[in-house]
Amino acid sequence: MTKRRFQNDIVEPSEQLILDLVRLGLQGDRSSIRQLSRKILRRRNGQAPSAAFRERLGLLLVGPDSSPLRSAAATALPVEPESKLPLAFLDRAPDSAPPVLNAAATATIDLLVRERRAAHTLLAAGLEPPKTLLLYGAPGVGKSMTARYLATALDLPLLAVDLAALMSSFLGKTGQNLRQLLDHARESPCVLLLDEFDAVAKRRDDETDIGELKRLVNVLLLELERWPSTGLLVAATNHPQLLDPAVGRRFDITLDLGLPDLSTRSAILQRAADDTGLEATDSLVVACALALDGASGADLVQIASQAARRAVLDDSSYEQILAELAFDGLRSAPRAMEHRAAFCAVAADELHLSHREIAKLLGISHPTVGKLVRRWRNELAPAAVAARDDHEAAI
């Protein structure tokens, strides 16, 4: 077998050791090793790893998927009788870092982890630790990520349901599949993730649904009542209004993962920048977070990743590309006038950016920035406050 020749065939002994560890690690827990590898690739004390090291590690990270642990675990999972497809899959890519959520959601998750870790203490006192969690919110706010983090924090495998295999076209089979899956998860301590939960827990007064889907709700009600403290059942949905009210009341904890606020958006963008090893000033990160109002966490990570790829491939400024992507919507969106005015005012008052700096970010003239700031302060902001007060009074 011919050895591959690298651009620079000399690596440091410590770097070679890391290469060997990564090669062995990719045969097992690939996610943890990949996370470690990305950290290794970050700059340390202003110095980047050698070109040979980066090239070889990059080749390892894009190598074939060969995890004997994954395939061995999959064979033990329950299967749909007709198709023989597994009803769930074992997720071996948990997120070791806590998800970046708003303060209230973070406090709830932290308390859940604390109570689950102290389950033996609570049980000894005659108290049950939380066993079921319902997460809801728009796509991309971190529901699946939160479930993965909980699996890591609680040192449990994450079992994720495959709805395509679960939902059978044969009358009565879907209920049997669901019960078979729940029986398996109950006997094998895990974090069971029921994503798109509304597909199996719809309101029973929905006249468009057939009787079987209504029977699924009865199955879930029973299972939620008797779920064991050895595992954690996590349900996630984008449409909480579709859930049967009786199901929602059975969960120990119900958590709304809303779209991230300004501070949360800033933290997500900062973590994304840190993960790439590229630098961005605090003021730019906050300005980008401000401009990306209404974006989900997944949207923010996607924008940061796109900026990082372009910066590496084009050998250009990560900050400049990130700003271009973040501020693009402020230049052309139909609501750009009010949004730009609000951005200009907050960037000037809170971030202490000059009108020329703001103008450069938005691609407009600095006199225009001044006009937008004055319009926001004199017209738009008072109108927004009055509208909010009227709304609160009506409530």
The angle formed by the CA atoms of residues 116, 119 and 125, to the nearest 5 degrees, is 140
Give per-residue burial for 99-127: e unless 16+ CB within 10 Å, then b. bbbbeebeebbeebbebbeebeeeeeeee
Asked if residue 225 lies in contact with residue 251, where contact means CB atoms within 8 angstroms, the answer is: no
The three-state secondary structure class of 159 is: strand
CA distance 92 to 151: 10
**pTM of full prediction above 0.85:** no
| DSSP assignment string, 7-75 | SS----HHHHHHHHHHHHHTTS-HHHHHHHHHHHHS-BTTBPPPHHHHHHHHHHHTS----HHHHHHHH
Which pLDDT score is estimated for 70? 38
Closest CA relative to residue 159, chosen from 189, 129, 197: 189
CA distance 69 to 28: 6
Other beta carbons less than 10 A from residue 88's beta carbon: 24
* pLDDT(58) > 70: no
Closest CA relative to residue 270, chosen from 280, 283, 260, 255: 280
Those residues whose C-beta lies under 8 Å from the C-beta of residue 237, and which sit 6 or more positions away, are: 134, 135, 136, 196, 197, 198, 201, 243
CA distance 379 to 10: 65
| Domain 74-256 matches domain 262-388 at the CATH topology level | no
| DSSP assignment string, 362-377 | HTS-HHHHHHHHHHII
pLDDT band per the 50, 70, 90 thresholds, residue 69: very low
Structure tokens at 129: 């630790």
Structure tokens at 52: 């040979």
Other beta carbons less than 10 A from residue 78's beta carbon: 17
pLDDT cut 70: percent of the chain above it: 70
Q: Which of 7-11, 233-237, 324-328 has the highest mean pLDDT?
A: 233-237
Give tens-digit pLDDT for 215-267. 778 888 888 888 888 889 999 999 888 888 888 888 999 999 999 998 899 99
298/94: higher pLDDT? 298
CA distance 97 to 115: 19
Which pLDDT score is estimated for 212? 63
Chain center to CA of 68: 27
State the DSSP code for 129. Answer: P
Structure tokens at 91: 């997720």
Q: What are the boundaries of each domain within the chain?
A: 13-61, 74-256, 262-388
Does 74-256 carry CATH code 3.30.565.10?
no
Which pLDDT score is estimated for 339? 74
Structure tokens at 231: 């595992």
Which pLDDT score is estimated for 198? 83
CA distance 176 to 168: 10
Which strand ranges, in their side-by-side order, compose the sheet holding 158-161? 88-91, 158-161, 191-194, 232-237, 132-136, 253-256
Give tens-digit pLDDT for 156-208. 889 988 776 677 655 567 778 888 888 888 888 889 998 888 877 776 665 55
The angle formed by the CA atoms of residues 391, 394 and 395, to the nearest 5 degrees, is 90
Q: Which pairing describes strands 132-136 and 253-256: parallel, antiparallel, or unpaired?
A: parallel
CA distance 108 to 288: 28
Topology classification of domain 262-388: Butyryl-CoA Dehydrogenase, subunit A; domain 3 (1.20.140)
Q: Which pairing describes strands 132-136 and 88-91: parallel, antiparallel, or unpaired?
A: unpaired
Which pLDDT score is estimated for 37? 65
